[in-house]
Copies of this chain bind each other. A is one copy, B any other.
């Protein structure tokens, strides 16, 4: 059964019921063993609550996109929500823009931008303009937003350091245009080119923006030019309400995850930055929704920094907060990650992610702790992350029988 059919199938058999599902995503959860101890971050952390829950759960290992594929955050999360991340690929521009709480409209074209440095001959000498400050970035974005484009409303949105985003809003624009970022120094930025004829006007508009930006920025060395990439528009994607008949809510403090959640129709709940804030938000809103996506970022950040101990500590913090979640007695609890981020690799990786699924009906296995090693022998086996939602729905008794 392929994934596309799967969403169609689920849509046919999903039913509404009072039961509640909580999906706790520990970003970058999976790890690699420390060379001295042979234990991963999760295995190193002292996690009595997670271990107790694992003992009455069914466990396994899940591949977000596929064996060997290292997922970005967007595809990793889409898979957790049951959407084929290859079919519903979300462009870099869109990811950047939904990550800063900008409300993108269906016809908008978004692109990711870098301030960069060019020399007198126009050759790129630094693709990141010496990583200018976020404040400087905001100041320059305000200048660029003054650019007038024929028939198009322009948004220039600061992101962080040298990074910003551009949104072109107008009639008949197309995302089918090429990047200007040459991905190397010593060469000129490329011109935006239409991939197909109907995208010509968009290419002209983007090039006009760049020409005017170059003039405006000429006095702002090192940020004296811009590079654009990842032109894209909102994908056409069914909401979780449509597919699962759920009333879903998202608890996430990082903008990108909020943006992704909104994209598939989740209600965004206001929450604070601490792990305990997020668990408190869950409790406060528990009566009003039947699906909660609770996202914790600290594990991924620590993994990206290569900080093994700090990643283990964040996991311990989560473990300490866990009774606030289990105390609500959700019908189904799923705990996993959107991908692995081993501290040893200082980045996302392809390693499958530990998962536990608790419900009264889960048919618990013999895993007695929540760890990569224990999950290998879990009852869920190794399986694609897009199958997590059907499993959670089934365990919440929210899927009717298929066929007579």
Contact = CB atoms under 8 A, between A and B. Distances in A.
Q: How large is the interface on A (under 10, 10 to 19, 20 to 34, 35 or more residues)?
A: 35 or more
A373 B58 CA distance: 11
Interface in A290-310: none
B345 A85 contact: no
Given A349-B361, A401-B72, A381 B61 contact: yes
A161 B382 CA distance: 45
Given A1-B3, A68-B390, A366-B373, A380 B382 contact: yes
Contact of A74 (B348, B379, B403): B403
Contacts of A40: 363
A19 interface: no
Given A66-B387, A345-B361, A378-B376, A402 B71 contact: yes
A79 B385 CA distance: 22
Interface string A178-208: 0000000000000000000000000000000
Contacts of A95: 404
A402 B1 contact: no
B383 A348 contact: no
A344 B404 CA distance: 21
A394 interface: yes
A1 B96 CA distance: 25
Interface string A208-242: 00000000000000000000001000000000000
Interface in A347-404: 347-351, 361, 363-366, 372-373, 376-384, 387, 389-395, 399-404
B402 A75 contact: yes
21 contacts: A6-B66, A9-B66, A9-B69, A9-B86, A40-B363, A61-B381, A67-B390, A68-B389, A71-B403, A74-B403, A85-B403, A89-B403, A90-B403, A91-B404, A92-B404, A230-B404, A376-B378, A376-B379, A376-B381, A382-B382, A382-B383
Q: Which 3 pairs show the lowest CB-CB distances between chains A and B?
A: A68-B390, A381-B382, A72-B403
Contact of A394 (B6, B69, B74): B69
Given A390-B66, A401-B70, A404-B90, A84 B1 contact: yes
A379 B63 CA distance: 12
Main secondary structure of the interface of A (DSSP, over half): loop
Given A3-B1, A365-B373, A394-B70, A65 B402 contact: yes
Contact of A404 (B6, B74, B361): B74
A2 interface: yes
A333 interface: no
Contacts of A399: 68-70, 350
Contacts of A150: none
A33 interface: yes
Contacts of A61: 379, 381
